Structure 1
């Protein structure tokens, strides 16, 4: 097939060549079957007669067969690329796949870890100032469901202005501020880090978490530290900061069943800053969090009024 030779000339991988050829054959077989044509795949040449509706029916049938969105997107891409090739050769006058959108691909949730593994990860000996810092980072990621970018981006002010009341203020996606809960374990870890931080932070550095250079800690450094901690804890899994965030959401939701509170804790993109500060009952959120999060257990007298 001339199209496959063209892919080869453009250094497409063998995997792509094989998949695209198979995808085109699958579509052509579908089209000939439903057009009641007596032509074989090898005999068919009139690609110009194929209309967008035929492509839509093909995708619909494949979806009904349980074919995944990723595979369907690749098949549509193969057909689109083939018609671009035909257009370039002057064999057709339009690309029927051009205006057709591939089915949306659902984003798989990251794997969570159970409470016992989380406790094992967080309850490791702290033998250096970096361990003390990392403990505060990991506890905060798990305690408040923070994104790692929110954690390393945390500043002393206004970030820790409400720390004694059990909250940190983070700047999330879309430059949106939100309050994230801090359980007692995370609070202890943060206070331990803040005690030693002045020794290692450069003057006038505003970041809560700093590196050995005394400047703001980077995302990559957090991942490397988490890798070391995972090995230290003997956990048979790959960890990431986002898994700690997801573990927070999973464990709170499993215990409370309060999806709304979990959404607020995580600060999902569909929640605006106005909703966070005017519609959310922070006292209710604090109660749900205290009862549900394995490492919260704030004292009954701790409240937002402190």
Structure 2
């Protein structure tokens, strides 16, 4: 969403903010587009009340958020408030404001839907297919195994290169959100599946020879292609629910947490900046929490 010409003086700071997020913070194009959409909508709706971002007060911003309650869902409102807080924090850093008027904006609470996951038997069934006579099946199995083995995001898997793998230590270096890097272990089955794929990969090398996973068009495999292949194998293997890459990441996190009860370690493996994100992501059930409590708390340990 681009602001009309009469709001060019609003657009200047917004464009500078987006450039800062892209070049200084390493935000993805998808995130930048979301920020631009939210903040452009604000400018378009409040332009009659002020001449510039710095003139808007906390009260005016809160009235704007309140006026959007009927037209926007709670999640969208929360995104708009988060965008405003981040943008005004940037304006304060630039010395254009002394205080952030969006710091204390009230936003309605919403229930985050719990991500779905496969159980261990379903994962084993998904990964139990023959690849001996099909190079693409060989590639797809390596993709599925790596998703489940290391909990990669879709963007992280697609952007992975051959040199990112340390074969001697069975590790892979990935670039996550904000271009932050982390190093993850690769499980034994995933290592074997990737090595099988590398035996036939040369037939697909083209424009990006460094890419770990390639397509029939001899390009780096795309996000959409991975999503389609994951769905294809879910259907071929007779899984009841629609399967997507994020569900495999969530299954990895859930099974790791169920086995280890180490929330902090799972947070590191997933690359979450905030522990609260991991808690929601892995939806610890009450029985698991009670078990951890009984085993850990000095006044709860059973003799």
Cα distance in 1 for residues equivalent to 2:208 and 2:75? 52
Q: Which residue of 1 aligns with 2:124?
A: 119
Partner of 1:180: 184
Structure 1 residue 167 displacement after superposition: 0.7
User: Please, what is the CA RMSD of the aligned residues?
Assistant: 2.8
Instruction: Give SS of 2:183's match.
Output: strand
The alpha carbon displacement at 1:175 in A equals 0.4
Conserved 8 A contact 1:72-1:103: no
How many Å apart are 1:138 and its aligned residue? 0.6
Q: Is the 8 A contact 1:72 1:102 kept in 2?
A: no
- Among candidates 193, 198, 201, match of residue 194 of structure 1: 198
Consecutive unaligned residues in structure 1, runs of 5 or more: 1-51, 60-68, 75-98, 272-306
Q: Structure 1 residues 104 and 252, CA, compared in 2 at 3 Å: closer, same or farther?
A: same
What is the CA–CA distance in structure 1 between the aligned matches of 2:76 and 2:211, rounded to whole Å? 45
**What is residue 224 of structure 2 aligned with on the other side?**
220
Change (3 A) 1:240 1:204: closer
When Rg is computed on C-alpha atoms for both structures, the one with the higher figure is 1
Rounded Cα–Cα distance in structure 1 between residues aligned with 2:189 and 2:254: 18
Deviations 1:239-269 (A, max 9, x none): 0100000000000100110111111111113
> 1:81-230 to 2 correspondence within 5 Å?
101-126=106-131, 127-157=133-163, 159-160=164-165, 162-202=166-206, 205-230=209-234
Aligned equivalents of 2:263 and 2:204: distance in 1?
40
Q: Quote the offset at 1:204 in angstroms.
A: 5.6
Larger deviation, residues 201-210 vs 135-144 = 201-210
Instruction: Tell me the distance in 1 between the aligned counterparts of 2:208 and 2:108.
Output: 50
TM-score (norm 1): 0.55
Report the 3-state secondary structure (helix = DSSP H, G, I; strand = E; otherwise coil) of the residue aligned with 2:162: coil
Task: Identify if the C-alpha distance between structure 1 residues 71 and 195 changes in structure 2 by more than 3 Å, giving closer, same or farther.
Answer: closer
Does the Cα contact within 8 Å between 2:138 and 2:193 map onto a contact in 1?
yes
CA distance in 2, matches of 1:251, 1:195: 30
Report how many aligned residue pairs link the two structures: 182
Offset from partner CA, 1:275-299 (integer Å, 9 cap, x none):
xxxxxxxxxxxxxxxxxxxxxxxxx
TM-superposed deviation, 1:200: 1.4
Q: CA 1:263/1:100 → structure 2, altered by over 3 Å: closer, same or farther?
A: closer
Query: Is 1:163–1:182's contact at 8 Å kept on the other side of the alignment?
Result: no
Measure the CA separation in 1 of the matches of 2:121 and 2:210.
Answer: 35
Distance 1:72 1:241, change over 3 A: closer
Taking the aligned partners of 1:116 and 1:261, their CA distance within structure 2 comes to 24
Counterpart-to-counterpart distance in 2, 1:102 and 1:202: 49
| Counterpart contact for 1:133–1:193, Cα < 8 Å | yes
Aligned-residue offset at 1:72 = 11
Paired residues of 1:173 and 1:269 also in contact (CA < 8 A): no
